[in-house]
């Protein structure tokens, strides 16, 4: 794509996760650990690592003996010889726990106040961690933690994910942030390419389903590739100077809202109301990203749900074309979506779509910032040349993507005529 048209189109995602009051089920999935060094494993190379986890309501030196804790002991890891320099487990373990291939454990019907997460690591009947039991972060995201241990490096490094899900009897919920298992929150170019490829794979699979996705009224297209081509053709045919009065920001916000509501009507949910307070929050974050010439990253003030959109070009297409492209790029993530199931591991693939049509979300606000790039890349995701950059931030209230099966089934409704 030439520098005179659209330089890039990248997407980002904000999700929300729910934690139930009362009782909950908790799953812990270890994705990676790094323990003994090569020379240290010689006498125990055929021995297995064993991990023990406890969830406690208060601090205790021995969680296994405490009435305030739920514990899962001696969860087998890999052999020492298979853990050099580190033991790695497939991300598929998050949603498909095979005890022969994964290092996972679970707790059923845990009291909600049991939030302190303890870990102990053993090998060959010898406890490596010192002290034996140590508290590690209990966060609803991918977490990296160092545990002090009797190893040459002085620690054991652990990457893991903690999932909480409410029992059916628990009724009240609150939303907290969920970071989509990413270590780099600035979404480098390689990550966007990976996500782009995943969405393309969704598009391929969707062709095998009975669901037909229609072009919207402006003919934007049904794939990211078609959307990029559409923006390029509109830029060439009706080129506007991005910072001129010809690009009507108020009209752009209105079109974003109208387009959202058109898709929501297809799913039989109420239209969004536009909210000036939410707009101010969205605008502040859009301005921040644009002033920094930053890669897409989410507002750390997690008050609202949030979808992001970004691209750059020497000329822009009309505001309507960009607005339609923004919303369509969100919506096509729903191609092939299973409305009868819930898989939290896939939220990063469909999160724009699900937030867009989330039934309980009632209001939105749009922030948009346009800047002339300095031409000096401040992030790996930015174009090489000094182009105009547009950052679009859409915020939603109440936030959607509450990570609960009941919530998803209640709030993500299929289009009319689709089961």
Please give the Cα distance from 35 to 45 (Å, whole number).
12
Q: Which CATH number fits domain 6-18+179-411: 3.30.300.30, 3.40.33.10, 2.40.10.10, 1.10.3210.10?
A: 3.40.33.10
Q: What is the pLDDT of residue 7?
A: 31
Burial class (CB in 10 A: 0-12, 13-18, 19+), 126: exposed
The full 3-state SS of 139-165, as one line of letters, equals CCCEEEEEEEECCCCCEEEEEEEEEEE
Is the N-terminal amide bond of 144 cis, ω within 30° of 0?
Answer: no
Classified by CATH at the fold level, domain 22-169 comes out as Immunoglobulin-like (2.60.40)
Q: What is the pTM of this model?
A: 0.51
Q: What is the pLDDT of residue 205?
A: 47
Q: What is the pLDDT of residue 284?
A: 93
Tens of pLDDT, residues 350-392: 899 999 999 999 999 999 998 877 766 555 566 656 677 889 9
Q: What is the pLDDT of residue 341?
A: 85
Q: What is the pLDDT of residue 25?
A: 85
Query: Residues 397, 362: contact at Cβ < 8 Å?
Result: yes
Please give the Cα distance from 51 to 46 (Å, whole number).
16
Query: Residues 391, 286: contact at Cβ < 8 Å?
Result: yes
User: Which is it for the CA torsion 233, 238, 239, 241, positive or negative?
Assistant: negative
Q: Where in the chain is the domain with CATH 3.40.33.10?
A: 6-18+179-411
Pick out the chain residues at pLDDT < 70: 1-22, 165-218, 221, 233-246, 315, 345, 375-386, 418-419
Q: What is the pLDDT of residue 242?
A: 54
Q: What is the pLDDT of residue 187?
A: 41
Q: What is the pLDDT of residue 136?
A: 96
Please give the Cα distance from 188 to 269 (Å, whole number).
35
Please give the Cα distance from 379 to 271 (Å, whole number).
36
Query: Residues 307, 391: contact at Cβ < 8 Å?
Result: no
Please give the Cα distance from 61 to 236 (Å, whole number).
68
Please give the Cα distance from 161 to 163 (Å, whole number).
7
Could you write out the DSSP letters of every residue in 18-57? EEESSEEEEEEEEEEEE-S-HHHHGGGTTSEEEEEEEEES
Tens of pLDDT, residues 160-184: 999 886 533 332 333 333 333 333 3
Cα 17 to Cα 140, 153, 402, 410: the distances in Å are: 7, 35, 5, 15
Q: What is the pLDDT of residue 153?
A: 86
**Residue 294 DSSP class:** P
Q: What is the pLDDT of residue 266?
A: 94
Q: Where in the chain is the domain with CATH 2.60.40.150?
A: 22-169
């Amino acid at each position: 794509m030439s520098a005179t048209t659209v330089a890039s189109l990248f997407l980002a995602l904000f999700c929300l996760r729910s934690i139930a009051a009362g009782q909950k089920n908790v799953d812990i999935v270890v994705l990676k650990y790094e323990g003994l060094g090569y020379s240290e494993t010689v006498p125990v190379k055929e021995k297995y690592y064993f991990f023990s986890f406890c969830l406690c309501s208060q601090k205790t030196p021995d969680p296994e003996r405490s009435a305030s804790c739920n514990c899962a002991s001696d969860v087998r890891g890999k052999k020492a010889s298979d853990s050099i320099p580190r033991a790695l487990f497939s991300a598929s373990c998050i949603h498909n726990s095979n005890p022969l291939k994964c290092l996972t454990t679970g707790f059923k019907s845990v009291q909600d106040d049991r939030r302190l997460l303890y870990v102990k690591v053993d090998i060959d009947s010898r406890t490596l961690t010192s002290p034996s039991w140590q508290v590690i972060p209990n966060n609803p995201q991918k977490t990296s933690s160092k545990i002090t241990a009797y190893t040459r490096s002085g620690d054991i490094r652990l990457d893991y994910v903690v999932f909480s899900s409410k029992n059916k009897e628990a009724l009240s919920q609150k939303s907290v942030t969920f970071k989509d298992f990413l270590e780099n929150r600035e979404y480098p170019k390689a990550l966007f390419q990976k996500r782009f490829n995943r969405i393309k794979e969704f598009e391929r699979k969707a062709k095998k389903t009975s669901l037909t996705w229609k072009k919207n009224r402006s003919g934007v297209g049904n794939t990211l590739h078609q959307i990029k081509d559409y923006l390029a053709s509109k830029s060439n045919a009706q080129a506007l100077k991005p910072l001129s009065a010809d690009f009507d920001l108020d009209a752009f916000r209105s079109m974003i809202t109208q387009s959202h509501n058109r898709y929501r009507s297809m799913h039989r949910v109420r239209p969004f109301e536009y909210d000036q307070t939410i707009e101010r929050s969205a605008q502040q974050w859009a301005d921040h990203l644009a002033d920094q010439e930053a890669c897409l990253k989410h507002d750390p003030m997690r008050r609202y749900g949030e979808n992001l959109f970004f691209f750059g070009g020497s000329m822009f297409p009309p505001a309507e074309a960009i607005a339609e492209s923004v919303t369509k790029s969100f919506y096509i993530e729903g191609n092939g979506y299973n409305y009868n199931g819930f898989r939290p591991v896939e939220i990063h693939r469909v999160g724009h779509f699900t937030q867009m049509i989330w039934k309980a979300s009632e209001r939105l606000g749009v922030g948009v910032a346009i800047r002339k790039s300095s031409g000096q890349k401040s992030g790996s995701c930015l174009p090489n040349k000094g182009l105009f950059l547009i950052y679009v931030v859409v915020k939603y209230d109440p936030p959607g993507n509450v990570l609960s099966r009941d919530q998803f089934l209640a709030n993500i409704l299929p289009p009319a005529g689709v089961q």
